[in-house]
Structure 1
Amino acid sequence: VLNFVLFPNPHIRDENGDNIGLPLLGADIVSLPGNKHLVALDFQPVLDLSEENVSLIPKRYSHIETKLQSIHSKYQKSSDESIQPLLPWGGDIPEQAKRFFSPYALWTRLSDDNAMDTVSTLVWEAYQEYIDLYLELMDTVQKDVESGVNSQVLQGQEDYLEYRRSNDPARPMLIRLYGEDWAERVIGGVLFP
């Protein structure tokens, strides 16, 4: 199990001094018995993208979103319908989780004979590309960091942590292996504090 989340500084402001809500970088790569693998890589929104004038990445950094769209298209969704995606779509995202997924979520389930090879090659490459682009975004916005807490962004990050604490797919395995008290302490105090 690889569960990796990067939280940007919630104090980041745009060129007008307005608070912005940069996405989290979320990476989940889970290998299950029977050669089954679940993969989710995404720039996960902390603000509700369905609200008016809210975008995943502030317009000032739209070149990053263009790169993200290109990376996503490379692995999962091409504008050319005749091209088979490198990684198949993983199926419906649960309703309560949709708020935390962007249009560029790379979400797949792998279970064929080549699944482990796919994880160690294509998934690994996609993981590296998502991380590299996220670090490029953070480097680009660093100059916009100012003091002051953006309560809406901070609340979005807290909502995300609460969602993950409540819905951690590793919970049953951790409880079975280490007991409920230990599992809840680790989930709430280490994985998603």
Structure 2
Amino acid sequence: MRSSSLEPVILPSWRWQPFLNHAVEALARFEPQPYPIPERFLWQSDSGGSTTRPFNVTTATWACKTNKLRQVRAACVEGGEAASVLNFVINPSFNYDLPFFGADLVTLPNGHLLALDLQPALKNDALHTQLVWEKLLPLHQECSKKLPSGGPIPAEAEPFFSPGFLWTRIPLGPEGDELIKEAVMPAFKLYLNLYLEFVDAATPVDADRSSELLAGQLRYSTYRALKDPARGMLTRFHGAEWTESYIHDVLFDLRSN
């Protein structure tokens, strides 16, 4: 077991590098500490594709923790034309009444799939959601004007997303690149800055509330591990055994046992 460096992962030609760099810089004021990651998941490189269209792919992991944030982690994938991905999730301590922060920035051969949210642990609990949504929804309204909708999400996923879920699909090429620069990056900064404002203001909760939050976080982590949309891609790149361990032991490592 090793700890991820507090310096951001650097992947050559990785499209999402500025996003991770911004997140790492924004978190610095919370005096983060390294978060332990099994060594084989810190940096994994493999080859794939066909004989006519081979590719090399690297998946790297960055992670830290603070007194209010149990795990902050980034899964970073660079596979050239095959895929370029940043999956960035902030898992709060269940001793603070905070949502999750989630960003999925995915480039595949058929386009960009981009999502941002402050995701609830207890969606039907007004104490957990009301203030968050009051501040998040105006940001969503502002940001969504500049981006096409990504379409509906599965009904089973709805308990784990807020009404401020920003979800878009945009094309490859100059038009998509411009939208990433002019709309997606500003949205990422706005959503993350709002989340960190909530972290700044958060105070410890009592034991009963902590238990409720833990139960909600466990439901979220279990669902995300079972339904991770990156499972197929990562299996193709790195094999099933590595992928299942990565999903359950790194990406969504909160368990009830």
Whether TM exceeds 0.5 here: the answer is yes
Counterparts of 1:169-188 in structure 2, within 5 Å, are 169-188=229-248
Per-residue Cα deviation, 1:159-186 (whole angstroms, up to 9, x for no partner): 1111111111111111111111111111
Q: Is 1:134 equivalent to 2:202 in the alignment?
A: no
2:243 maps to a residue whose letter is A
CA distance in 2 between partners of 1:2 and 1:56 (Å):
27
Counterparts of 1:34-183 in structure 2, within 5 Å, are 34=110, 36-49=111-124, 54-57=126-129, 62=131, 65-76=133-144, 85-111=145-171, 113=173, 114-141=175-202, 144-146=203-205, 148=207, 150-183=210-243
Percent identical pairs in the alignment equals 41
Q: What is the Cα deviation at residue 117 of structure 1?
A: 2.5
- State the partner residue of 2:105: 29
Distance 1:67 1:4, change over 3 A: same
- State the partner residue of 2:49: none
Q: What is the Cα deviation at residue 90 of structure 1?
A: 0.9
CA distance in 1 between partners of 2:165 and 2:127 (Å):
15
Per-residue Cα deviation, 1:11-59 (whole angstroms, up to 9, x for no partner): 13xxxxxxxx42111111111113x11111111011132xxx535535x
TM-score by length of 1: 0.79
Contact map agreement 1:56 1:102 (CA 8 A) in 2:
no
For structure 2, the 5+ residue unaligned runs are 1-84
- State the partner residue of 1:5: 89
For residue 102 of structure 1, give the secondary structure of its aligned residue in structure 2: coil
| Aligned-pair Cα RMSD in Å | 1.9
- State the partner residue of 1:80: none
For residue 117 of structure 2, give the secondary structure of its aligned residue in structure 1: strand
For residue 186 of structure 1, give the secondary structure of its aligned residue in structure 2: helix
Per-residue Cα deviation, 1:58-94 (whole angstroms, up to 9, x for no partner): 5xxx3x5433222111111xxxxxxxx2011111111
1:133 maps to a residue whose letter is L
Per-residue Cα deviation, 1:94-147 (whole angstroms, up to 9, x for no partner): 111100111111111112641132123311110111111100111012xx2156
The structure richer in strand per residue is 2
Distance 1:112 1:178, change over 3 A: closer
Distance 1:33 1:56, change over 3 A: farther
CA distance in 2 between partners of 1:175 and 1:140 (Å):
40
TM-score by length of 2: 0.60
Distance 1:55 1:30, change over 3 A: farther
CA distance in 1 between partners of 2:171 and 2:128 (Å):
31
Aligned residues: 167
- State the partner residue of 2:59: none
Distance 1:55 1:33, change over 3 A: farther
CA distance in 2 between partners of 1:116 and 1:192 (Å):
30
